[in-house]
Structure 1
Amino acid sequence: RQLAKLNVDIIEAGFPATSPGDREAISQIAREVKGPVIAGLARAVMADIDHAYEAVRGAESARIHVFLSSSDIHMAQQLRKNREDVIEMARNAVRHAKKYVSDIEFSPMDATRSDREFVYQILQAAIEEGATTVNIPDTVGYAIPEEFEDLIRSIAQNVPNIDQARISVHCQNDLGMATANSLAGILGGARQVEGTI
């Protein structure tokens, strides 16, 4: 409620698939907090997306935020999938979320360590399926401001359908650069900044 009073426009209330307790807490937030969009986080797994919808469906405005690894190291070690499979996973996940809500955020996890051409491709695919926000996470706090601004600008210039989505940034603070990187992301063209309070 305090975030709503501060005019925070979107509250990502949690990751509903983690536990029944988290799902219930997110559901309560969705029912009781008025004004902001209430988002639920989900891996690009159908059951996660289902849980996210169940948790946020009571909100005045609901969002599902789907994330999927995009760096070669994460695809190989976590997903054990190739790039084509990961793009298809992204398409399927966004398409599934679209059955529930019209406001869908997609994040290519570990974007700052990902091949840029692949990031462009996966974002284009997610937008084609209905993603309305594409979030660029610096998952391991690896970026520095100049390179992060360049990444965001390059996404704005190289994803053909980017005009159909809002660019968002999510910066970790491992190197103490989260605020600087977020501001650099805005200079590069981002219109949403994710933060933690």
Structure 2
Amino acid sequence: MADQVYIFDTTLRDGEQVPGCQLNTEEKVIIAKALEQLGVDVIEAGFPISSPGDYNSVIAISKAVSNPIITALSRAVEKDIDRAAEALQFAKRGRIHTGIGTSDQHIYTKLRSDRDKVLERAVAAVKYAKKYVEDVEFYAEDAGRTDQEYLARVMEAVIKAGATVLNIPDTTGFCLPDMYGEKIKYLKENVTGIDKAILSTHCHNDLGLAVANSISAARHGARQIECTINGIGERAGNTSLEEVVMIMKKHPEINLTTNINTRQIYPTSQLVSKLMNMPVQANKAVVGKNAFSHSSGIHQDGVIKNRENYEIIDPVEVGVDKSSIILTARSGRAALNYNLKNLGIDLSKEELDTAYDKFLDLADELKIVKDDDLRKLAEELSSKSV
């Protein structure tokens, strides 16, 4: 039986940190309801101490959804934790997500502290949050660049303090997949009490490795992946929810599964893109407009004969109606005939040959030949044959 990986969606917190893509409370509630329909296990609703808007949004989301755990972010500061707990008062299942930087880079240059003091602050924050909620997640910011032995010491200490989830962020997107997977493996093997907590990933995409790192970590024992719709987020973005989910679905041999209703992936992607006014890049895996589009004649012929020749995902699986055969100067007769038949136009072989020559001239001129162009082309051929 496959192991479940919990999907922790941070679109409304880390994802919303993209400049110019901020949402109001009403919009956040709309997205939160969509995430619930999608089947995410955890929604990180905001950072309540950061602004009145974030505080009110966490309250509103807590009231609006029932199934997912609602998480509020805080620093390892008592006033942050107080504010997070207050914002979560209406959550059916609330979680406080608190933490502190653990890399030497953060300890010495950002926090201006030392390892022992940071360890003390981590433990104190978890104990303080535990007064409010049973479910406390601890994040070790910049864990990707944190010394393994020290990271293990911190994790062991916060477990003893009551942490239920351990977030191991690759905050700067620095790690390679084998490095990050090995970090998770090291913690599994060297932290006393690790079986009492869920190991979580939170990967950034600065080197384009967020998804690969998250999957590597899951294969080494992490059982929660923190991600966003469309991979949005700070700088180059976060782990893409749609990508990690479909990787696990398409690779049953890795023995990992999720609660995600994959048919809701594309509609949710479009909703987030629209409300955040952030277009999805055309070649984005799974949800980009070109993900199921084919314009090369060789590919088009193969897809028309059998979709699986060039598609490992059935578009219906992720909520897309069907594949698209895009007619360009690279298209062949099979693609032209396929699109004509979809318009109810049947041509003989000789007629198709004539139409194809005309089509190539048209394609060179228009770049992409659309349905209306095809209809006009067919009408011209029909009038000449009369």
Q: TM bucket by the smaller chain?
A: over 0.9
**Map of 1:92 onto structure 2:** 124
Query: What are the within-5 Å matches in structure 2 for residues 140-151 of structure 1?
Result: 140-151=172-183
- The alpha carbon displacement at 1:55 in A equals 1.1
SS across alignment from 1:100: coil
Q: TM-score, normalised by structure 1?
A: 0.98
Q: Is it true that 1:61 corresponds to 2:89 in the alignment?
A: no
> Which residue of 183, 187, 194 maps to 2:215?
183
For residues 178 and 89 of structure 2, the distance between their equivalents in structure 1, rounded to whole angstroms, comes to: 39
> Which residue of 162, 178, 181 maps to 2:194?
162
Q: Is it true that 1:31 corresponds to 2:63 in the alignment?
A: yes
For residues 121 and 148 of structure 2, the distance between their equivalents in structure 1, rounded to whole angstroms, comes to: 18
Identity rate, percent: 47
For residues 46 and 98 of structure 2, the distance between their equivalents in structure 1, rounded to whole angstroms, comes to: 12
For residues 109 and 86 of structure 2, the distance between their equivalents in structure 1, rounded to whole angstroms, comes to: 30
Q: Quick check: 128-137 or 78-87, which moved more?
A: 78-87
- The alpha carbon displacement at 1:101 in A equals 0.2
SS across alignment from 2:185: helix
> Which residue of 158, 165, 168 maps to 1:136?
168
- The alpha carbon displacement at 1:141 in A equals 0.4
- The alpha carbon displacement at 1:78 in A equals 1.5
For residues 149 and 89 of structure 2, the distance between their equivalents in structure 1, rounded to whole angstroms, comes to: 35
Q: Which digits, 9 at most, give the CA deviation of each residue in 1:162-191, with x for residues without a partner?
A: 011000000001111111000000011100
* Matching residue's letter, 2:89: R
Is residue 48–residue 74 contact of structure 2 (8 Å, CA) maintained in 1?
yes
* Matching residue's letter, 2:35: L
Task: Output the aligned Cα RMSD.
Answer: 0.7
Runs of 4+ in 1 over 4 A off after TM superposition: none
SS across alignment from 1:117: helix
* Matching residue's letter, 1:132: T
**Map of 1:195 onto structure 2:** 227
SS across alignment from 1:17: helix
* Matching residue's letter, 1:128: K
**Map of 1:81 onto structure 2:** 113
> Which residue of 151, 168, 185 maps to 1:119?
151
**Map of 2:378 onto structure 1:** none
For residues 2 and 34 of structure 1, the distance between their equivalents in structure 2, rounded to whole angstroms, comes to: 12
For residues 75 and 55 of structure 2, the distance between their equivalents in structure 1, rounded to whole angstroms, comes to: 15
For residues 89 and 110 of structure 2, the distance between their equivalents in structure 1, rounded to whole angstroms, comes to: 30
**Map of 2:344 onto structure 1:** none
> Which residue of 17, 22, 25 maps to 2:54?
22
SS across alignment from 1:40: strand
Q: Which digits, 9 at most, give the CA deviation of each residue in 1:64-121, with x for residues without a partner?
A: 0012000011011111111111111011100000000000000110001111111001
**Map of 1:3 onto structure 2:** 35
- The alpha carbon displacement at 1:122 in A equals 0.6
Q: Is it true that 1:108 corresponds to 2:121 in the alignment?
A: no
Unaligned runs of 5+ in 1: none
SS across alignment from 2:72: strand
Q: TM-score, normalised by structure 2?
A: 0.51
